[in-house]
A and B are shown apart, each in its own frame.
Chain A
Amino acid sequence: MRGKEVVVKRIITLNVNGEEFEFLTEVHRTLLEVLREDLGLTGTKRGCDLGTCGACTVLIEGKPYLSCLTLAADVQGKKIVTIEGLAQDGEPHPLQKAFVQKGAIQCGFCTPGMILMAKAFLDENPNPSEEEVKQAISGNICRCTGYTKIVEAILSLTHK
């Protein structure tokens, strides 16, 4: 709540990971804040809050968005998927498996955003070159892995 300023609150409805959520919130709040603070979905990470690291990437209608730059009120009625919602019927997504098995995860802070970005990309382009993979994840910063094993993990799902 801002001091004496008028705070505009609105009831908004979000569809996240297949569930409907209805809650009262200030209109200026970002999707990242709402996911983490109101819905308790802390798998979506805040690395910069400025749109420069990709850690907060979520899928909206299957496309990758930076949730720190997206207002929650603007994505009502859209299908939002976060890292918590990627597994299907308890079965992890192949990308999650590949990241685990190939050692593409160190501290894991970039991982949720990285995996969602990779998913959106592979859905569009199932047989990319290494360069295309690198290009696709170039907005997602990872300080730990040097990207080698991340790229390997993504590419391991393409030659099927």
Chain B
Amino acid sequence: MNKLDVVGKREPMLDAWEKATGRARFTDDLAFPGMLYGKILRSPLAHAKILHLDLTGAEKVTGVKGAIGGEDIPKKKYGIVPMAKDEYALAIGKVRYVGDEVAAVVATSLDAAEEALSKIQVDYEELPAVFDPVEAMQPGAPVIHEEVHNNVSASIRKEFGNVEKAFGESDFLFEDTFETQAVNHCPLEPQAALAVVDPSGKVTLYASTQIPFFLRRNLATTLDIPESKVRVIKPKVGGGFGQKIDLYAKDFCAAFFAMKTKKPVKFVYEREEVFTSTRQRHPMHIQLKTGMRKDGTILAQQFKVIADGGAYNSTAPLMITLACYFIMLPYRLENLLFEGYHVYTNKPVGGAMRGHGIPQVRFAVEAQLDHVAEKMGIDPLDLRLKNAFQAGAPHPAKLRVQTCGFSDTLKTAAKGIGWEEKRGKLPFGRGVGLAGASFPSGVSNMSHISSGAMVKIERDGSITLLTGAADIGQGAETVISQIVAEELGVPLEDIRITAADTEITPLDPGTFGSGVTLRAGNAAKIASQEAREKLFEAVAEKMEVNVKELEARNRRIYVKGSPERGMSFKEAIKFYQYSDRPMPIIGRGSYQPPAKEPTTLLKEDGNFSPAYSFMTQAAEVEVDTKTGKVKVLKMVASHDCGKAINPMLVEGQLEGSVVGGMGQALYEEVITEKGRVLNPSFLDYGIPTAMEAPSITSVEVETNDPEGPFGAKESGEGTQLAPAPAIINAIYDAIGVRFKTLPVTPEKILQALDEKKKE
């Protein structure tokens, strides 16, 4: 590959200065004259019929401009996965969890809105509730959604190869059960929406969202208005991690009230609402059986997975499908039988969270593999290397893996943590562990999964870039701008970007499935090339050379190899103009990952993603055997991201993801009792602070994927798949106890050490 000037550089985010000086505007930072403040009344009961809703008390409060229940807003179900829509903007007929939306009010002040909520009268008839997914599947369990009788709203049963036969041929069989907990995404910015109606009647929604275009579509269908009457703008977003992929009552209510009152309307969730009434990582109950050949080959695996979905579907079918298919990476696995259920319970709702269904099963596999290795007398690293998937190998589910740096991530992570010197050799209380994983770089082909971009070369030589990509803090706008700057041969500072406005910017599905860099990056690359070609044609004519001989670099366009034979970028623009070519100079790009339909995996196998990233996490821990506290001393995150467009941002992604994974391993849990969240605050929830953060070494393994822009693949999301098992495996190395339930709290450590003593 040619030498690169902008791609591959450690550039600060384009909007870092705005953020460092307090000028960056998030949704709640916006205000409009006459704006009303909204609040939502939530159910205090886990499962109940709404017999009667009386809003008259609320309407009488001074300053209140509107109050509605589920019957007052169009009765259309919404949902992020079209086949699984099961939610109304506000509950109709019954509530299904503590925190379910019952009514909404708007008023001239927040105080008045809060006062109004307290005046709403609801008569409930309490219904029997169910909180355990296994119980919820039993005949006779309370029915949470009328049309779903055993509460199983999504399921998958798939066999690859012949598992029974393979178990028969296995030399060793291992069976274990694992449990994972509910984890909240905890974006620091609570969910917010602000709707404004213009004189033509069009509603503009500013929202903390990862998916502006999906939100527009859902607003239109749910509120029964044409899509052309809805505009969604994403201001700065304070983190999402999957939680802001979903649609919420605040979006529908803000838009509805704005249309009704003709005034701007803002809804902002409280932190407690973020915990109780948005989304969380699905707790899972996982039974896993693995058959091994003597030589260390993984012959077959069988899974039974029960995911606690809470009261609604969100991404249910996709989540359980991903859990299944990503068992077959990063290791070769010919024989897999996967049975998975998404089960409704009267609890907070599960949704996509960094890794989307995969971290839970990955924890099970990686924790068990460590045990397998020990029992078979093989080094856990060697066992993983032996079974590591390789690029180009046939995949049982037809995933097409063109580049795969998994083995290299294993080796570099092991080296970074000091595997040779430390594994099994550290004093009691100290240990190392590792775990591997793989993740898609976006989704190949579902409705709406294309990205567009437009690149305009301005007369002063600056570049205007329009992209639909939704930057939620990961730096998407910066990375895409780097790609454009590289293609046009200009410095990053020449690019001005406008993004994520459904009225102005081209279509983009949004930030999920780790597809932004690859998909939106490719669209921007194509657009840049098209704009560049136009300039090149003019320059080629002037210089009497072939277009193919030209290159653009350092704000110059010249004959390849001889920078003196050419002209400046600005001169080229001038010449283009004076040669009577049509202005403005615009390049357009649309990109859809190549795939044969259907590849959602929901119905058929196929290549799910244009590229797959691979990663290994290695951990060193110290267990305080008196207090039971685990301190993660060091983590090494080795990641095959194809090519780091911006290594500093890739590192940032890995570091943040690792600490989140550590939180899942040791601290975090949304605890509920009879469906009520007992710890809806940062303090009680156990979010990691700087004190717990380990020293982190990031290793970028570059494999230059042919499908990625400049070879780039996913980074940051897949990283959260393996920290928890790496830490759990390190704890085993430290104290000889295998934990199968997350999080591993000090109480669990002390109890285990106690039992060990008795043995």
Contacts and interface: CB of A to CB of B under 8 A. Distances in A.
Given A1-B62, A145-B656, A146-B655, A44 B188 contact: no
B271 A50 contact: yes
Contact of B652 (A111, A134, A149): A149
B32 to A, nearest CB: 13
A110 interface: yes
Interface string B458-482: 0000000000000011110000000
A3 B430 CA distance: 61
A1 B198 CA distance: 28
Contacts of B681: 48, 50, 52
Most buried by B among A37, A47, A149: A47
B28 A46 contact: yes
A47 B189 contact: yes
B83 interface: no
B693 A134 contact: yes
A52 B270 CA distance: 13
Nearest to A26: B111
Interface stretch (B123-131, B296-304, B657-665): B657-665
Nearest to B719: A146
A82 B22 contact: yes
B270 A108 contact: no
B324 interface: no
A59 to B, nearest CB: 13
B12 interface: yes
Interface residues of B, number: 64
A47 B188 contact: yes
Given A3-B62, A149-B652, A48 B682 contact: yes
Given A50-B271, A148-B696, A143 B22 contact: no
Interface in B632-656: 648-649, 651-652, 655-656
Nearest to A40: B31
A141 B682 contact: yes
A146 B653 CA distance: 9
A47 B272 CA distance: 11
B16 A47 contact: no
A111 B690 contact: no
A142 interface: yes
B499 interface: no
B112 A143 contact: no
B723 to A, nearest CB: 10
B690 A103 contact: no
A134 B24 contact: no
Nearest to A135: B691
Nearest to B20: A96
A106 interface: yes
B689 to A, nearest CB: 4
A107 B696 contact: no
B37 to A, nearest CB: 10
Nearest to B635: A146
Interface in B1-35: 10, 12-13, 15-26, 28-29, 31
Given A143-B660, A146-B696, A53 B188 contact: yes
Contacts of A151: 690, 693
Contact of A111 (B20, B29, B656, B658): B20
Interface string A1-12: 111100000000
B256 interface: no
A13 interface: no
Contact of A142 (B188, B236, B270, B691): B188
B281 to A, nearest CB: 14
B239 A143 contact: yes
B696 A111 contact: no
Contact of B13 (A43, A105, A142): A105
A83 B655 contact: no
Nearest to A131: B691
Contact of A144 (B473, B658, B690, B696): B473
Interface string A22-56: 00000000000000110001111111111011010
Contacts of B657: 146
B144 interface: no
B658 A146 contact: yes
Nearest to B663: A143
B628 interface: no
B159 interface: no
Contact of A108 (B236, B652, B683): B236
Contacts of A45: 26, 188-189, 238
B159 to A, nearest CB: 39
A46 to B, nearest CB: 7
Contacts of B112: 1-3
A129 to B, nearest CB: 13
A107 B652 contact: no
A99 B188 contact: no
B24 A106 contact: no
A92 interface: yes
6 contacts: A43-B21, A92-B21, A138-B690, A144-B473, A147-B689, A149-B655
Given A138-B689, A147-B655, 15 more contacts: A49-B270, A53-B188, A82-B22, A84-B23, A96-B17, A96-B21, A105-B16, A106-B239, A108-B20, A109-B189, A134-B693, A135-B690, A140-B689, A141-B186, A146-B657
Interface of B: 10, 12-13, 15-26, 28-29, 31, 61-63, 108-109, 111-112, 115, 185-190, 236-239, 241, 268, 270-271, 472-475, 648-649, 651-652, 655-660, 681-683, 687, 689-691, 693, 695-696
Interface of A: 1-4, 36-37, 41-50, 52-53, 55, 82-84, 86-87, 92, 96, 99-101, 103, 105-112, 115, 133-135, 137-151
Q: What are the 5 A-B residue pairs with the smallest beta carbon separation, nearest first? A: A43-B22, A107-B473, A108-B19, A109-B238, A146-B659
